[in-house]
Structure 1
Amino acid sequence: METNVLKQIFIDHWKPFVKKYGKRIRPSVLKEVQKFLNCGDPKNGFKLFVCEGCHHTSTTCSCSEAEEWSRIMNEEVLQVNHRHVTFTIDEGLRVIFQKYRRMLKEFMNEAVRLVQEWFEKKLKVAPGIIAGLYTFGSHLNFDPHVSYNGGE
């Protein structure tokens, strides 16, 4: 399986980083990075596909399933009139959400509830909703936000 650029950066720099800052890295971060680094290794599980005609084989891990899900959402589900809305947390309050991360689930639930309520009151319809909770922004800073896609 081909290594992407981000994974290669972690392969090249993660161990020295942990050696230097290990005591300051949260256990959950260590766990998630290790899962990321192990992704694609057949020892961690895979699916084997065999062509019944020519017997060609190929393998895949759940990464390709996530990419396929994303493609389906983009090409099939979202090919209707829809809106894209992002709910974010004020920069001054982010430290609270970083300390009490369990509140992030409630934040996402509230964002979805607000969208549903707006559609039901204003348009008298129940929207279809796809919402995702993101905890980091494009600059890899803690920036929790809920991204919502949905249509009437």
Structure 2
Amino acid sequence: MACDPDIAIPPGARRRVARIMSGCGERGAGAAGRTAKGGVYHQRKPRANPLYQCADRHLAELRSEGRLQRLLEERVIERFLKCGDPHHGFAPVYCSECRHDYLLAFSCKARYFCPSCHQKRVLAYGDWVEENVLAPVPHRQYVFTVPRMLRPIFSRKRGLLGELCRIVERLLIRAYTGAGVEGRPGLILFVQTFGDLLTFNPHIHVLAADGVFRADGAFVVPPAIPVKLLEGGFRSEVLKLLVAEGAIGERLSASLLAWRHSGFSVHNGVRVAAGDIEGRSSSLGLQRASDPPQLQRRIDSPIPPADPGRYAYAPCQVFPTYQPGEHWRRMSAGVASRNATTGRA
């Protein structure tokens, strides 16, 4: 790779940077370098993954057709196309011990879109929570889901996703303290907006200490919390919120309250033992990493090779295909605003 003349490089460093970027030295731009923690840094190749290729090929088309509903979505895609590319900015890194150097390309830092940047946040947050927040007690994972007919409301009114978090937090605090034990549970909540097939599916993941912390520091495990109790409270509180916001009418709210199967659901079948550090970490990783960034490993482009206008999305054993406009409409819906609530602890 030749050194781009548009990159601002100090005159004294031009020769060394050109050597690194050309790959002629011991450490090329794509070679590995030793990191501060003793690991090996391998510079990624963003242009090689199908997600980048799809965005690069169709961004102009998406703009002209008005497929991007928010200015934020366009800006995130533009930043993503520059992420990890040394031609859009980098920092030279030199190790005085091994006397090797390499280029560390700037990143876009896009949440819930860029596979690399979002995954970095996931790992850093998971390590911080494990070291500074989680107590060595049993934990339980909860998932609160809203019915399909109400999901478009949360797509149009993103501020309500934060309210969903608050509703779930209040419900679990009441449930854990309702057995007469004075104290407070420990909760970490995350908003997730996608299902397996890129459909907009807002739901709340919770990693909860499966008990109550008393004021003296003791941890008390209460009786099991009935899922139906949580489902009923979740349905009632969400419908009350939507009526107050003018998103639905009293008539629809009354119908959903009367339905036997309303679509509101709560799952709490995953429990992690007190000493299972790996289980707690995987629960955190599952909750924060299963959003659109995982598409780096799920998109095949194109399918079939003779049809460059369709993309296959393969999360499990199902392989739906989308036209570029539909694919990006679905995927960009998961882009979180800068100040959006994506979790609580």
Equivalent residue in structure 2 for 1:108, among 154, 162, 165: 165
Q: Tell me which amino acid in the other structure corresponds to 2:184.
A: A
TM-score by length of 2: 0.36
The answer to whether the 8 Å contact 1:7/1:37 transfers is no
Indicate the residue corresponding to 1:34 in structure 2: 78
RMSD: 3.4
Q: For the structure 1 residues 83 and 57, does the alpha-carbon distance in structure 2 shift closer, same or farther, using more than 3 Å as the test?
A: farther
Q: Tell me which amino acid in the other structure corresponds to 1:126.
A: R
2:204 aligns to what SS in structure 1? strand
Indicate the residue corresponding to 1:7 in structure 2: 51
**For 1:37 and 1:78, how far apart are their aligned partners in 2?**
40
Indicate the residue corresponding to 1:138 in structure 2: 196
Q: Tell me which amino acid in the other structure corresponds to 1:38.
A: K
The answer to whether the 8 Å contact 1:10/1:37 transfers is no
Unaligned runs of 5+ in 1: none
CA offsets, 1:12-57, max 9 Å, x none? 5432641563x13212322333333333245777777654522444
2:120 aligns to what SS in structure 1? helix
2:178 aligns to what SS in structure 1? helix
Indicate the residue corresponding to 2:178 in structure 1: 121
- Deviation, structure 1 residue 114: 1.7
The answer to whether the 8 Å contact 1:11/1:37 transfers is yes
**For 2:149 and 2:171, how far apart are their aligned partners in 1?**
22
CA offsets, 1:126-151, max 9 Å, x none? 23222211122221111111111122
Indicate the residue corresponding to 1:69 in structure 2: 124
**For 1:49 and 1:67, how far apart are their aligned partners in 2?**
24
Q: Highest CA radius of gyration, 1 or 2?
A: 2
1:147 aligns to what SS in structure 2? strand
- Deviation, structure 1 residue 73: 6.7
Q: Tell me which amino acid in the other structure corresponds to 2:153.
A: I
**For 1:114 and 1:44, how far apart are their aligned partners in 2?**
47
**For 1:70 and 1:17, how far apart are their aligned partners in 2?**
36
Task: Provide the aligned length of Structure 1 versus Structure 2.
Answer: 151
CA offsets, 1:86-135, max 9 Å, x none? 11111111122222221111112212222222222246542322221112
2:196 aligns to what SS in structure 1? coil
| Larger strand proportion of the pair | 1
Q: For the structure 1 residues 106 and 71, does the alpha-carbon distance in structure 2 shift closer, same or farther, using more than 3 Å as the test?
A: closer
1:24 aligns to what SS in structure 2? coil
Q: For the structure 1 residues 112 and 54, does the alpha-carbon distance in structure 2 shift closer, same or farther, using more than 3 Å as the test?
A: same
TM-score by length of 1: 0.72
Q: Tell me which amino acid in the other structure corresponds to 2:54.
A: F
Q: For the structure 1 residues 119 and 57, does the alpha-carbon distance in structure 2 shift closer, same or farther, using more than 3 Å as the test?
A: farther
Unaligned runs of 5+ in 2: 1-43, 110-116, 211-345
Q: For the structure 1 residues 17 and 143, does the alpha-carbon distance in structure 2 shift closer, same or farther, using more than 3 Å as the test?
A: farther
Q: For the structure 1 residues 57 and 82, does the alpha-carbon distance in structure 2 shift closer, same or farther, using more than 3 Å as the test?
A: farther
